[in-house]
Every structure is written in C-alpha cells, then in structure tokens.
Chain A
Amino acid sequence: MASSSEPMVSRSVDVLVVGGGSAGLAAAISARKRGARSVLILERDGRLGGILNQCVHNGFGLHTFNEELTGPEYAARYVERARELKVEYLLNTTVLSLSADREVVAVNARDGVFRVAAGSIVLAMGCRERPRGALDIPGTRPAGVYTAGTAQRLVNVDGFLPGREVVILGSGDIGLIMARRLTLEGAHVSCVCEIMPYSGGLKRNIVQCLEDFGIPLLLSHTVVNVEGAERVQAVTIAQVDEDLRPIAGTERRVPCDTLLLSVGLLPENELAQQAGIDINPTTHGARVNESLETSAPGIFACGNVLHVHDLVDYVSEESAHAGSCAARFALRAAIEKDAPSAPTAPMSGEGSFPVECARGVRCAVPSFVRPSAVEDALTLRFRVDAVYRDVCVSVYVGGRRVSHRRHVALVPAEMLTVRIRASYLEGLSGDDVITIALEEG
C-alpha cells in the first residue's frame, strides 16, 4: 500500500540485488542459474564491478579461474556472465530505503524515485574505509589525508598522483598495495606504520608490496600528529605500548605531503539497520543463518557487507550461495502465494543452532545453522584474534569434534574457512551449539 508520501511500486522482481560489485554479480548470476525468472541489480556507480574496477593489480581469481587476473578482468568475466544470463541492472541508482517486507525505494536520474517489490533481496553493498576521524588523529585538517581506497581511485581510475612524499598508516591490504602502486607511479613512500604488533595485511602483500621495494614496515607505531595548514607538511609518528598508547619520547617527525590511511573496513550496513535487521557487533555485518539469510525473512547478505573478506574469490563463492538461497526463497514464496504459510523466522527457534566462537576465534559467519537447510556442506568463515603458531582449529557440533586441523601459523589478516558435511549436523538437538575453537597443536 503506497501512502501519498511513498512512491508507487514501479515493478516487482523475483530477486533484487543491492550492489553490483563482486558480491552482487555472483549472487545475481547464481540466482538466475537457480531458476529465478527476474533478477535485478541496483548499482549506485556508473558501471558494474564495484571496487574491482580500481584494483588494477593482479592476483584475483586464483581460486575461481586458476588464473591470475586483474580486478577489472575478474569483474568483466562476471559482468559478461550476468549479461548472458539476462540479469537486469540499473546503474547510477541509489537505494534509499529497504523494508523488512522486501521492498526498496531507489532513485536515479532517469526513473526518479521508484519502488521495487521483490520475492527476495540480496544485500551486497560492500564496505567503506574508516576515515581519519574514527582514529581521532590530532593535528590540522589539510588536503593530503586520504583513505587508501580513495587514493587508489585517484591513481588507477583518474590517472593522478595524490602526493609525492607519502606516509601510510595501517597495513591493511589496500594500504600495502597502494605503497607499491604509488612507488611505481613516481611517489616515495617513506614508511608504513602499523599500530598492532603484527600486520593487518596478507603475507604475500607484505613481501610483494613492501619488502620488494624496500619500504619499511614499522610495527607498533602510529601517527600522533598531522601538520600543515593547507596541504600536509609532516606527520609525527610514535611507537605504542602494549595498550596501543603512544610512548612519550619515541615521537619522530616525518616530512611528507600525503598521509594514506588503511586502518580498517566497515560493512556499509545502514540500509540493513534501517530495516531493523540484526547486526553482529563483531563483524558489523548482519547476523545470518547457514543460507546467509538475515533476521528479516527473504533478505540475504553476502560479501563485504556481511563481513570483510581478504580474497575476492571467497566473496564470489559466498555470494553465489546467497544468490542461490535467495532464488530458492523467492520461488517457494511464489508457489505458496495462493496459500501463504507464515514466514519462518530464519534465526531462532527449534531446529536452529547458534555458532559460537571459543578461545582465539572471532567474527564467525554464519551465526545460526538450521541443519535441515544445509544441502551438502556447511561453510564456516571466521578469523583468529591474534597471531598464533602451531595451533589446531577445531569445530565441535553439539560437543562432538567434527573437524580438527593443524596450522603452522594463523594471523588475523587471513579469513579461515572450514566445511562441515551436512551429515555431521544431523545429531544436533535441544540446546546444542556449534563451536569453533583454537586448541594446542
């Protein structure tokens, strides 16, 4: 029912995908393959592919295609597949609101403000970078402070160099990749500071982006001041103690014209929150079940809006699962339209079992598992909370250990995946839980 202040429903689709980046594309393709008749992607940018379009370095697709592709090449394969499968998409289209009963309001220059009703929805909005303010770095507010992703866009898409003398704070993967990129483009990167005693990026990036270029990585260091009225003139870096507080006397002034921030990514979940969807405070993504369905029935989430990934291949894999579950939901809803059954709560209640993180483990996805809905295997993704050596990752299903694997080293930068065969979940009952834990090797 459209009230006078709400736009009329302009159309309805089986599966609506919010976001046309790596997650949205994979979800849309998979939804079509799974039988959804109409799949529509709403993308706010001027082209499909999302952040992949600015990732001109290679290393994408090793798992998916057994090839090393650049970001735009990886995106192009999915865009092509989506076109073959007649996935519809609207570009330069921003979703304004989402309701738990699977309707969105969106806007673009051609259609104005319009409403789409969907059989199911896949949230694939990705993430954003934490800005300077989130770290409360004191000092002036000149030009020359960029998040790494913004600098990446300016260099790789627009073709400009944001600065010539660069200090990078944060050793997340984008920061590491930008250290190399800026060096190749003619800038000088004096150092990468990381407040933690270990890097936030993947080992291969530290080797290929810093070590190969002689760029020092200063662990347990942060930026404590920014100077320069109009343009950055220098930053002050300092060592931090175990509580991550700067140690007086260790300050060092580094002249530079640019400070790049690579200090964390946050799922961009404002739409989900607006719709009243439960958010997991550790991942900042929605709480989902084994089908990647959120607390709102028929609304699914995948990719970096669900939890921040480090490899796009895993985003694609996860999103294909979400897309296929979304198609299943939409088709079932269409069949039951004449005799609607009450929508089953995707989370709580009988037949649903929580996933718990025990010692050393955090950010597990999904949060709940309904064994009856697991088709072949359950995929658990999670991270460790610190650097560990010689430990085992174990998964317990209702007290029974069903997976146990030894690792030489585990780092928080690397997302871990464990697959549990559906048959192992059969015995779950009552108050049983699924637990992921680190154990001595």
Chain B
Amino acid sequence: MEDVIWDCVIVGAGASGCAAARELSRTDGRYLVLEAADDVGCGTSKANSAIVHAGFDAHPGTLMARLNVEGNALFPGLAQELDFAFMPVGSLVVCTCEDQRPALEALLERGRSNGVPGLRVVEKDELRRMEPNVSDAATCALWAPTAGICDPFGLVIALFENARQNGVGFSFGSRVESVEREGGLWLVHAGGGVVRSRCVVNAAGVYADQIHNMVSPHRMVIVPRRGEYELLDTSAGSHVRHTVFTLPTKMGKGVLVTPTVHGNLLVGPTADDVDDREGTQTTAAGLGAVRCRSALGVRDIPFREVIASFSGLRAHRPEHDFAIGELPEAPGFVDCAGIESPGLTACPAIGRMVASEVLRALARMGRARGPRPDFQPRRRGYVNLNCISPEEWNELIARDPSYGNIVCRCCLVSEGQIREACRRGARSVDAVKRRTGATMGRCQGGFCCPRIMQIISQEHPDIPFAMVTKKGGASRYLAGNTKEVAPHG
C-alpha cells in the first residue's frame, strides 16, 4: 500500500466520508478511506435523530441551508438506488402557545426562502387529526411533507458497500496520527503506516479540527455537543405518525419525538457541549431532561417501554455552518467539517460537493479523472423479513435454509442475514446489529447475543468465540474459560 500514490485519501468513514467516497467512485481515480474504528459510521453518524430534515431550520444563505434542501431532494432516489430504509413521514413543528405563532410563521418564511417545498401551517383541528397524541397545549404547527426518517446505519453502510464495490479501498483501525506535505503530495500517517496522496478529504467528525489544524494555520474549533436519547419498544412505535418538533418557549426547549424506520419511538436529543470527544455516555440529568421536555409537544409518551438510551456527539463549530472546500493554504486538502444536524440529510449533497472539490483539485494537478466505465450505481441491501411476503421468504429459504432459522426473535432476524452480514464485512456484534437489526429489540440481545457471537466466530476463522467483541478493540464479551485461573492473580 505504501508504494501507491492515491488520488484521494478520505479521513473518516461516517456519512460524509462514505458519501464523498461513493461520489468519487463514479470516476476512475484511486481512492482510499481511512477509518479509526472497526466499522463505518461509528461516530456521529450512528447516534443521532435519523431524521431527513425538510430544510426550514438553517438560515438562508448558509451552506447548511443549501445542502439540506439539496440532500433532502436526493434522499428518496438514493434510498432506492442503494436499497436502505427511508420513509417520507413528514414533520411537524408544534406551537404550544399563541404567543409563539410569529416564530412559527418566521420558520415558514425561512423555509420558503430556503426553497423547501410544500410547507404550510396546520391549525389545531387538523393537527389533532394528523397527530392524535400531540400535546393538549398545541395550537398549530408547521407541516413539512418532504421531511422523513431513515436508517442512519443503513445509509452509511450502503454508501460504503457501493463505494467499495466501485473500487474504493477502506482501511479500518486506521486512526490518523499526522498529515504532512512532502514533494507535492500529502503523507498521511495512520494506524502505524503511511499513505501518500494527491488529495485529502477531512471528514473526521468530532476530530475534524485536529486534522484541519495539522495542515492549516487558520485554526478550526470543533466542540463535541452531546445529545441524549431514549429509544422505546416497537409497541410504542405508533405513538406519533410524523416527526414532531416543538417550538422553543419560555418554559424551555422541547425535544423531538419520532417514529423510526425500525418501528420504534425515539425521543431526544439534549444538547450539552462536552470536552471528551468520545464522551458518549448518558447521564441521569440528560435522560431526565429528555423525558421531561418531550411532554411539551407530545402527551402520554409511554416511557415504561424504554428499551435503550444512548447519546451521540455532534461535530459542532461555533460558526454553526458546514465547512466544505479545498483550503487555499493547503492545495488538495479538502475540509468536510462541522457536519452536524442536518448533516445526515445533507450527506448526499455533501458527497457531491466534496467530490467536485477533489476532482477540480486533481484536474488542476494534471490528474483529471474521467467517469469509471463500469460504475455500478445500485447496491443490494439486506433482506428485512418483516417486509417480505411468505412466498418471497420461502424462496429465500429454498435457496438457503438458514434464512428460516430465526436468531433475533424480537426483530425477526434469521441466521442467514447474520451470516451474510459477516460475509459482507461485519466482525463485531454491533456491526451485525447495524446491518441486520439483530439485538435492537426489546430483549436487547439477551437471547440472541451468544448465538450471534457463535456465527461471527464461524464466519471469521480468525475470531474465536472467546475473542468476539461488541464493537472492536478491547470490547470483548468474554474474559476466559470457566474454572480458569485469572491470568493476573
């Protein structure tokens, strides 16, 4: 690998990095993605609201506003092309006191100038018909029919698999230690090795400031902003039909309440700036705030049905806009930084913008890239047994009987899907989870986790059962054999 000169090295395999990789894979360059974790989408991309925002929130004229609306428009087609879950359920911003109506109308205006289609204000009666569990205080709401929900893991994995099938290299466990300029090339030191490249894309999420500051005197600051969430069982999944936001009031800021594509109910997030870039712990105060603030917009949320709580970090920049583009002071180095909400929505547009920056830089260097002749835009997703007919399922079983052997009873995932996930690259239980949905249900892996560990170790001869991890690194499930003397006292 060290002899190769890459056309572009992308740092970070989250939604932005994978979207950029997939866009670049349309061309005939040599591209490599370096990822610190053992899988794609392990940072900001995995723990967020999974919302495809309509685009009325960002301020007109910002990159955020433009890419949000563009990304939203690209989403349905991308979901079809790459076969991941997306549901255009629409969103409501609920106004809970008449005093706030001007703020709602301002949001409507902002949305219109951002070019968001179909926005309108719905009044109380219609609102209640659309969303029966909206809070009693709700007076009206901003309806955005183009908003939706998606499977954020599915999106990133789809982008990754499609980029990979079109020739992009991916190197996991490759945390970037330094980036330097030498002989007109970028030297990227990562995971103990070094790669040389004409261009570098900095899509390092909450670490993007560190990567940026390796090459630029103009300091960038990223503040990890933590958001905590509560996830409720599918039994509560139809408590709301749309994504419900609440306008901030004197009483405070609400949190969103939304169905998920997996059929659960998601409530959150909080927003707390933290120092720790890996600080994805939940807190009693944060989870308490989620529960308490959700009541502003939606009533009677059955919190006894909570099956998991989690938190994610947004890569917040104090300027509060995306920073995308080649740095004048660092030719060929393209930032893709400050990608916080609505970054997931915007990622299809972000990918295009980043790719065009890279291709322009390459052209300038005399390495203009043409279209890849065998580019394959479509990728086959994973089967969802909850969505297929008995006939389709029986055909699957006839081809491979392991699709009839249910491993995850809560989410209906078969041995066949888990084996396929392993064969397509999953090496940890969480990696299997993100591809198949196994362990995401009400028992949270209590029954199926040992079985999944077994399948992982069968599919990967280099991973014995006792070495299977939850999420790579030192996250082993087992400490040793029974009746074994502890290795250190």
Interface positions of A (Cβ within 8 A of B): 4-7, 44, 92, 94, 96, 105, 107-113, 128-129, 131-134, 136, 138-144, 147, 149-150, 153-155, 157-164, 185-187, 224-227, 229-231, 246, 257-258, 270, 273
Contacts and interface: CB of A to CB of B under 8 A. Distances in A.
Nearest to B310: A141
Interface of B: 230-231, 235, 278, 280-284, 286-287, 306-310, 389-391, 393-394, 397-398, 401-406, 409, 412, 442-447, 449-450, 465-466, 469-471, 473-486
Contact of B444 (A133, A142, A164, A186): A133
A7 B481 CA distance: 45
A162 B478 contact: yes
Given A131-B446, A186-B482, A110 B278 contact: no
Contact of B393 (A113, A143, A273): A113
A160 B481 contact: yes
B446 A128 contact: yes
Contacts, number: 153
Contact of B402 (A109, A142, A270): A109
15 contacts: A107-B397, A108-B404, A109-B403, A112-B398, A134-B307, A136-B287, A150-B445, A150-B447, A160-B478, A160-B480, A162-B477, A162-B479, A185-B482, A230-B475, A270-B235
B397 A109 contact: yes
A7 B465 CA distance: 37
Contacts of A138: 281-284, 286-287, 309
A231 B307 CA distance: 21
A178 to B, nearest CB: 13
B306 A134 contact: yes
Given A108-B405, A150-B450, A230 B482 contact: no
Contacts of B484: 161, 186
B477 A143 contact: yes
A187 B476 CA distance: 16
Nearest to B404: A109
B426 to A, nearest CB: 16
A158 B450 contact: yes
Contact of A44 (B402, B406, B480, B483): B406
Contacts of B310: 141
A57 B484 CA distance: 20
Given A128-B447, A138-B283, A113 B394 contact: yes
A109 B405 contact: yes
B206 to A, nearest CB: 14
B446 A94 contact: no
Contacts of A227: 281
B307 A131 contact: yes
A367 to B, nearest CB: 21
Nearest to B234: A270
A241 B278 CA distance: 33
Contacts of A229: 278
A144 B449 CA distance: 12
Contacts of A7: 390, 394
Nearest to A45: B447
A161 B390 contact: no
Contact of B390 (A5, A132, A134): A5
A110 to B, nearest CB: 7
B446 A147 contact: yes
A105 B390 CA distance: 10
Contact of B486 (A139, A147, A186): A186
B477 A140 contact: no
A107 B393 contact: yes
Given A136-B309, A139-B282, A231 B404 contact: no
Contacts of B393: 107, 112-113
Contacts of B465: 158, 160
Given A109-B405, A138-B284, A138-B287, A143 B475 contact: yes
A94 B278 contact: no
A159 B308 contact: no
Given A143-B469, A160-B478, A229-B278, A133 B390 contact: no
B390 A129 contact: no
B167 to A, nearest CB: 32
Contacts of A149: 446
Contacts of A132: 308, 444
B249 to A, nearest CB: 26
Contacts of A105: 390
Contacts of B309: 133, 136, 138
B284 A143 contact: no
A129 B306 contact: no
A155 B482 contact: yes
A161 B481 contact: yes
B394 A231 contact: no
A160 B482 contact: yes
Given A92-B405, A229-B278, A246-B284, 11 more contacts: A94-B406, A109-B397, A132-B308, A139-B281, A143-B477, A153-B450, A154-B478, A160-B482, A163-B479, A230-B469, A230-B475
